[in-house]
Structure 1
């Protein structure tokens, strides 16, 4: 097990075990905000993981009773005193946050959110950006910007790609807390487990994924997000081309052969 020699005070902890990299937001006293420093730490971690062939799945968790309260409003408000009233800073920090969300989608490995407590605003966006999400029964989700005159427009991008239009707009327009069971019904999370068990369930799901061909999982994740942005015919054409290449790959030949021979496949690492 590799903890990457981090001090316990690091704002983002990484621990690797059995092909699973667990990233833990670690500013519980500040409600794990997506501050400048946290966004930098997440971006650097995702960049390192993308190139790390030993990592097969990523779990995103958080320390303390709040998963993430979203942007650091104190940090942002301070820049209203800038000569441009904060325009350049707001553009930069929101762009950096959007970049981290896109890194999750572009990451070769699946990312699973393990959510305990509340995930609000950009913290909710972070959950929606992950490929899978598990919630403890006490978890709650919210895009509350509408209460303070700041519509959650960037979280909307991730929400609208996870939820139906009406469910996404319900969260965005009302700004109310959504309990875990309702979040599962809406499609924001995959499942709800007893409070405190989200990480264990995420690890269980990650363990199943690590048993699959890493090359195939990488191909599939990338193709899923690519085709989702296309029209129907283009999506089918793209998926067909991807599947042909996949069929010709070594792991598909091995997997099909193993199935026919009733044995366990041996994947390329």
Structure 2
């Protein structure tokens, strides 16, 4: 199987499983990832997703160009709704990347689509598409919404790779840990997110992603609908009651 799935309480772990191909993306793997993301989104039990990969050499090397060419010729184009929602910031639940090895090209773009990220110290990152006659069309050109333009241009125009410590300095990683601790650290982060109120988490993610990509005014204009939904919810009342009663809240997502 190209994608492995496992449940850890309220966290779904999705694992890319093509280590011999540096976990490069094929149409089949993207379809499986899209389906798994859809199942996680629809599940009331799942409140966060961890995305990782098998092995310690590569998280994802981007597209498997040969597989894409063969699949396109044999089967035609696929629609991967939930993968597309994830790639465009519209996925409804938090996704935490556990970067076990190098993430380049489309693999780096996978990282950029995630909400939070933990990486192994030895991992390398970059957008080398220009070295191959291509450009980072899968989300890499949105990098200036995350870091200063000059630094984003250095990634995109030189195609050079940087290490995890540099990415941490740039604010694109939340944690850098030893390779044996990557998944555990990502799970711990995901569990902390999953312990909070689902509606509040979702509203916070939407507003912050919109602010990052569209600016503060766009984010501010969209707030009222979230305020109406969240502040009048059962969970808002439960949060207040749990606080005054000095007990853990029991969230329902309603």
Structure 1: gaps (5+ residues): 1-9, 83-88
TM-score normalised over the length of structure 1: 0.83
In structure 2, what is the equivalent of residue 23 of structure 1?
A: 14
Aligned to 2:30: 39
Within-5 A mapping of 1:1-269: 10-64=1-55, 65-76=57-68, 92=77, 100-103=83-86, 105-268=89-252
Q: Deviations over 1:17-42 (max 9, x none)?
A: 21110000001011111111111111
The offset of 1:222, in angstroms, is: 2.8
Matches of 1:79 and 1:252, distance apart in 2: 48
How far residue 163 of structure 1 moved from its aligned partner, in angstroms, is 2.5
Q: CA RMSD in A?
A: 2.5
> How far, CA to CA, are the matches of 2:69 and 2:160 in structure 1?
23
**Structure 1 residue 103: deviation in Å?**
2.6
1:72-115 alpha-carbon deviations (Å, 9 max, x no partner): 122346699x8xxxxxx7xx58xx68972533532222000000
Number of aligned residues: 249
The answer as to whether partners of 1:227 and 1:239 remain within 8 angstroms in 2 is no
CA–CA separation in structure 1 for the residues paired with 2:96 and 2:222:
26
Q: Tell me by how many angstroms 1:243 deviates.
A: 2.2
Q: Note if contact 2:146-2:212 (Cα within 8 Å) is conserved in structure 1.
A: no
Structure 1 or 2, whichever has the larger Rg, is 1
